[in-house]
Amino acid sequence: MRQKIAIDMDEVMADALGKLIRLYEKEFGKSVKQEVLQGHFLEEVIDPDHKHVIREYLFEKDFFQDLEVMPDSQAVIFELSQHYDVYIVTAAMEFPDSLSHKYQWLREHFSFLSWKNFVFCGDKSIIRADYLIDDHPKNLSVFSGEPIIFTSPHNVHETRFRRVNNWQEVAAMFL
């Protein structure tokens, strides 16, 4: 029986943060430097009067439609799918309008995965797999298998979990 790897979508496979930064910089004409993001979420480092716009961007109907693919994720996930049962697990219920766009995005960029391997949920504690690769400690801390944190600026100071910084490190770990 093959082991199961559950993989988060946003900030692991899809660059949601990059799009948020681009939208913010375009709307407000202010640059967001990577070094100020280290250890913080975007809404923690921008003008306090602008915090609400980050959630507004996320609730836009088409926000998740055209996210950039994280470097090397397609090739590594394809290779993982040859040796493991791979499931894409995304907490899409927080943004209900995202469901169809996330599904379409996955079909476009990860067409080698079956629709049966997509899990749209609210609470990831229900996920039963051998591994979970995710950028949010809150999801990893309730996971019953082996949690693996995927580096994103907001989690750089997190030390409770085994860490991967990019998809090449995922490949080295599993392949």
With a threshold of 0.75, does the pTM exceed it? yes
Q: Is 135 a catalytic residue?
A: no
d(CA 128, CA 76): 22
Both structure tokens of 30 = 């202010």
Helix, strand or coil for residue 118?
strand
Both structure tokens of 56 = 């507004």
pLDDT tens, residue by residue, 112-164: 999 999 999 999 999 999 999 999 999 999 999 999 999 999 999 999 999 99
Q: Is 108 exposed, middle or buried (0-12, 13-18, 19+ CB in 10 A)?
A: exposed
Q: Is 8 a catalytic residue?
A: yes
Residue 61 confidence (pLDDT) above 90: no
pLDDT confidence tier of residue 94, bands split at 50, 70 and 90? confident
More confident site: 142 or 97: 142
Residue 16: predicted pLDDT: 97
Residue 96 confidence (pLDDT) above 90: no
Average pLDDT over residues 4-14: 98
Contacts of 161 (CB under 8 A, 6+ apart): 137, 140, 147, 148, 149
Residue 97 confidence (pLDDT) above 90: no
pLDDT tens, residue by residue, 69-79: 999 999 999 99
List the domains of the chain with CATH numbers. 4-14+67-174 (3.40.50.1000), 16-65 (no CATH)
Average pLDDT over residues 40-53: 96
